[in-house]
Amino acid sequence: MAEIERWVPFVLNMTGLAVAIKMGISRLAEKNIWKIFTVISLGVYLFIVGYLVFSPTPDAYREVPAALFRFGTIPINIIPFKYIDTGFFLNVLMTVPLGGYLFLIRRLNLKQVILFGFGVGASIEFSQFIYDLLFHISRWIDINDVITNALGVIIGYGFVVLLKKTGIKKFVQLFEYSGQTRRVKKKANK
C-alpha cells in the first residue's frame, strides 16, 4: 500500500474534527472569548490526540511481545496489565485533558464519566483495528490502552470538579461551554 494511503484515516478524522469545531462555535448560545477558547483548544487537543493515535507508525511492530494474539498481521493484547511500560502511563496523561473538557462541556455523574472514558478507549482501539485492516497504519491493539484512556478521562474530570470547589471557581466557569445552543434557547423562550 502506498505511504500516502496510510494517512487516509488521520485526514478523514481531522476533516470531521474541523467541521465539528466550526459547528461548536457557531452553535454557542453565548459567544465570548472564553467559550470560543474552550472549543478551539479542545479542537487543537483532539488534533494532537488524533495524530498520536491515528497516524501511521513505520516501526510500531518492532518491539511487539511474541505472546500477543494476532489477527492477521495486527498484534492484539487482550490480557490487562500484562505489558506495562511508559506508554501505559502516557496513555493516562493523554486523556486527562479530555476529562477536563468533558466537565466544561457537559455534567455527568460518576457512572457516566466512567462509561464515557471506557467508550473513548474502546473507540480508539476499535478504530485503530479497522484502520489497520484497511490502511495498514501499523498500530497494535491493547486492552491496557482502553483502561488507561478511561482512567485519564476520570482523573481529568475529577480534577476540574475539584477546581470548581476552590477559589478559582468563577475562573473555571468562564470556560464552561454549557452545551446550550441558540436553538435550545429559542425553544425555551416560547
pLDDT for position 29: 66
Q: Say which DSSP state 3 is in.
A: G
Contact indicator for 142, 129 with CB cutoff of 8 Å:
no
Q: What is the pLDDT of residue 111?
A: 97
Domain ranges of the chain: 3-185
pLDDT at 2: 63
Q: Which comes out higher in pLDDT, residue 94 or 71?
A: 94
Q: What is the pLDDT of residue 93?
A: 98
How far is residue 58's CA from residue 131's CA, in Å, rounded to a whole number? 14
Q: CA-to-CA distance for 146 and 117, rounded, in angstroms?
A: 8
The span from the first CA to the last CA of the chain, in angstroms, equals 56
**pLDDT computed for residue 55 by the predictor:** 86
CA–CA separation, 4 vs 56, rounded Å? 10
| Whole-angstrom distance, CA of residue 23 vs CA of residue 157 | 24
What is the per-residue pLDDT across 82-134, written as a single tens digit (0 to 9) for each?
878 898 999 999 999 999 999 999 999 999 999 999 999 999 999 999 999 98
pLDDT tens, 124-173?
Answer: 999 999 999 988 888 889 999 999 999 999 999 999 999 999 999 999 99
Residue-wise DSSP of 146-178 = HHHHHHHHHHHHHHHHHHTTSTTHHHHHHT---
Average pLDDT (8-32) is: 82
Mean per-residue pLDDT, 24-35: 78
Residue 10: per-residue pLDDT: 84
